[in-house]
Chain A
Amino acid sequence: MRNFFKNLIAISVITLILMFFLDNFYSYAFKNGQPRSKIQNILQLKNKHYDVAFFGSSRTENNIDCKLITKLTGMSCANFGISGGSPGDMLILMKLAENRKISFNQVFMQVDYNYNSSGITKYFKANLIPFMDDPIVKDQLLLYKEEFFYRWIPFYRFMVFDKVVGIREATASFLKLRQNTNIAIGFSPKQGIGKATAGSFAETIKDKSQELTQMQKLYKNTNTTLEFFTSPYCKEVKNRDFMDKVQLKLPGLHNYVDLFDDKDEYFFNCGHLNEAGAGVFTKTLVKDLLQ
């Protein structure tokens, strides 16, 4: 059995060495390469100030045009919305921003049905994977009782999340290839008109959103004001009165859920505006909240 075990050990050692090497290469590429996601971008920023910043999901990413805000008000603006992003994801982004001394005068957090969600999303977690040794990332992943043990097996984390932080992204980051969309500005408009996927809000609302409460704590007694807003939905969405319940939980909420009830041409689908709708909505926000 000697030769057999020699072969087996050789294959295992080769595998471990390759995993160790790849882990270091991928980590280096994501930490030092071209940022290709908003998470990577914020992790590479330092000592930066924005007058206004928007956090949320695709209803922020697709609906808020920061370039337009800067043009209309002269304010510097960043859109940190991530498609599919949850309040838990946004809380980590806010904490990372604070840690890297990225400051804001005004922060707007988009709230809608996501009031009921908790924890971080798989996509967001995958994006955090290369930065697991960062103290904020580490704390947050521990907080959500994520499978933290895989940090002890080199490269395993990149294999588990290969779809998001696999060889394609690592190589693109390493070779400093840019994304088609400008992630520093963060606005990614939708094209076309439609009202598909109407869906439904929940019938009940949970007692308290831990993540939103933590956001309020984070910006309490600082120079940053935190406000909550809701992006427009088409009128076909069911249980839209869910937003009245959210309003009771967050009294200062700027609720625009019915803003475009008579403007079907502004929707890409029931939950997202198209580029024209995003322009009009951004102007409304500027007029109501930034002037």
Chain B
Amino acid sequence: MLFNSISFLIFLPVVFIVYWGLFKKSLKLQNIFLLIASYLFYGWWDYRFLALIAASTLVDFFVGRFLQKTGNEIHRKILLSLSLAFNLGLLGFFKYYNFFIESWIDSWANLGVELQVSSLNIILPVGISFYTFQTLSYTIDVYRRKIEPTSDIINFSVFVAFFPQLVAGPIERAKHLLPQFSKKRIFIEERGISGIHLILWGLFKKIVIADSCAIYVNAIFDDYENMNSATLLLGAVYFAFQIYGDFSGYSDIAIGTGRLFGFDLMRNFNFPYFSRNIAEFWRRWHISLSTWFRDYLYIPLGGSRGSKWQQVRNVFIIFLVSGFWHGANWTFVIWGGLHALFFLPLLLGHQNRKHLNQVAENKILPSFRELLQMLFTFGLTSFAWIFFRADSLFDAINFIKRIFTDLSFELQYLSIERYNIELLLIIGIFVLLEWFHRHLEHPFSGTFKWVKIIAIILMLLTLGVYSDQQEFIYFQF
């Protein structure tokens, strides 16, 4: 079920009314109902893959239970390995099997050896990368004795399958989300209202910003050989806004929906395009994933401790793995590698912990220096996005090559019969709205709150893309 679909528009109020109306007095019933609703939400897409979620849930629930019961370190390691092998095995099979087989065949073919190994027609279950990481974090934290394992299988099941964040995050930690299923929930009006506002803002980001950008991005990337330098540069910028609007829009809707049911989900984006360097960008972009990798990969590897060589190695590992997490394609690996390269000078120059505050704090406008820093960082991320969006490495390299060789900077009229100026105007409004509300979660506050709400609804209705509706990009990961 998509957040921006009619079915969700019916599903959400029904679940909300039943949840608060019928089951308000029983926490157990609320959790059972949330579990059923979450499985229905997921099964709407493909009910067959519910078995995978259930299996992942059962494995980690019982691993957690056994970890609590045994003090034997070897047994504990075996149990942890079992969880890792099961979850990463699922991920490996559904997401990476074909990639490894094809890469294996290609590498032998380069040596002149033709291998007859067939790949499989595997459908990638939506959200598998998200919920496997969520359950893994539980098992690892139990293993590290950072949290107590739960003995309530319903609570654990709904923690794994909680529908607002099931298919594209935020990737929650058991320490933060799991206890919320055991506490009596009361409806706090302000949280509920902010939830609605977040949903509205998320829908705007998705339907107006991301889906409008998608129309242009597809036209440019699919026909990049006939585009000039200006259009290709715009294509990269549009994709930067598409993926941001798409993913942060999804996260806002997820967090807002969670609030309607009395839950607090972690923030996933914090105005990443107002970052002054790449390190700051990664503290603000897909926060739940970057902190996951920090806690469960980077720090165990030694983090920023150890020799320079070890620090550099750790940075490359975390960024390359992060790229590979996104998809089984070399384009994602290169995307991750580029970010590692961008990050490296900051690490070596001890600049990676700079800019921990919000840019131009308590000021209306940034300084000229800050503006240049933001533009430079945005330029770097947009450049890397080309690899992320391109269908293959070949396409990405040719796309970039054309930017630097065509050198024609006239704005082209695209085959989609739309002018660049239209989209640039919409993006401009969006950037201004974000800038002037960068200390908030959404712009609906202050004296002109209702004016802004009306304007956003009006833009949703008139500028929203409905006939060419796109799936959320992160569903494919």
Contact = CB atoms under 8 A, between A and B. Distances in A.
A11 B467 contact: no
A162 B215 CA distance: 13
B321 interface: no
Contact of A162 (B187, B418, B454, B466): B466
A11 B466 contact: no
B457 A162 contact: no
B464 interface: yes
Interface in B96-116: none
A163 B211 CA distance: 12
Interface string A239-267: 00000000000000000000000000000
Contacts of A155: 461
A45 interface: no
Contact of B187 (A1, A163, A168): A1
B457 A4 contact: no
Interface stretch (A15-23, A48-56, A77-85, A101-109): A15-23
A14 interface: yes
A22 to B, nearest CB: 6
A161 interface: yes
Interface in B15-40: 20
Interface in A11-38: 11, 14-15, 18-19, 22
Contacts of A163: 467-468
Interface string B433-477: 000000000000000001001100110011111111000000000
Nearest to A165: B467
Contact of A4 (B192, B200, B418, B461): B192
B153 interface: no
B458 A11 contact: no
B189, B193, B453, B461: residue with the most chain A Cβ atoms closer than 10 Å: B461
B431 interface: no
B154 interface: no
B196 A159 contact: no
A186 B468 CA distance: 28
Nearest to B6: A156
Interface residues of B, number: 21
A82 to B, nearest CB: 16
Contact of B461 (A3, A7, A10, A159): A159
A167 interface: yes
A18 B461 contact: yes
Interface in A156-198: 159-164, 166-168
A142 interface: no
A16 B144 CA distance: 53
A10 B193 CA distance: 12
B454 A4 contact: no
Contacts of B464: 159, 162
A203 B454 CA distance: 56
A8 interface: yes
Nearest to B260: A4
Contacts of A168: 418
B467 A8 contact: no
Nearest to A15: B457
Given A1-B187, A1-B189, A11-B196, A160 B466 contact: yes
Binding site of A, secondary structure by majority: helix, strand, loop or mixed?
helix
A7 B189 CA distance: 10
Contact of B453 (A14, A164, A167): A14
A2 B454 CA distance: 21
Contact of B457 (A1, A14, A160): A14
Interface in B49-104: none
A162 B458 contact: no
Contact of A18 (B20, B418, B457, B467): B457
A22 B189 contact: no
Contacts of B461: 15, 18-19, 22, 155, 159
Nearest to A163: B467
B289 to A, nearest CB: 32
B454 A14 contact: yes
A10 B467 CA distance: 27
Contacts of B20: 1
A160 B466 CA distance: 6
B187 A11 contact: no
A144 to B, nearest CB: 19
Given A159-B466, A160-B467, A162-B464, A7 B458 contact: no
B219 to A, nearest CB: 13
Nearest to B195: A4
B468 A3 contact: no
B466 A4 contact: no
Contacts of B463: 167
B457 A7 contact: no
A162 B465 contact: yes
Contacts of A167: 462-463
A231 to B, nearest CB: 24
A167 B463 CA distance: 7
Contacts of B462: 22, 166-167
Given A11-B453, A11-B457, A14-B457, A4 B467 contact: no
A261 B466 CA distance: 44
A246 B467 CA distance: 35
A4 B189 contact: yes
Contacts of A7: 193, 196
B203 to A, nearest CB: 11
A7 to B, nearest CB: 5
B458 A4 contact: no
Contacts of B450: 10
A22 B468 CA distance: 20
Given A14-B454, A14-B457, A18-B454, A162 B193 contact: no
Nearest to A23: B461
Contacts of B454: 14, 18
Contacts of B458: 18
Contacts of A161: 467
B187 A3 contact: no
A192 to B, nearest CB: 15
Nearest to A156: B466
A4, A14, A155, A160: residue with the most chain B Cβ atoms closer than 10 Å: A4
Nearest to A167: B462
Contacts of B200: 11
27 contacts: A1-B187, A1-B189, A3-B189, A4-B192, A4-B193, A8-B196, A10-B450, A11-B196, A11-B453, A11-B457, A15-B457, A18-B457, A18-B458, A18-B461, A22-B462, A159-B461, A159-B466, A160-B466, A161-B467, A162-B464, A162-B465, A162-B467, A163-B467, A163-B468, A164-B467, A166-B462, A167-B462
Interface of A: 1-4, 7-8, 10-11, 14-15, 18-19, 22, 155, 159-164, 166-168
Given A4-B187, A4-B192, A11-B196, 7 more contacts: A4-B193, A7-B196, A11-B200, A14-B454, A14-B457, A22-B461, A163-B468
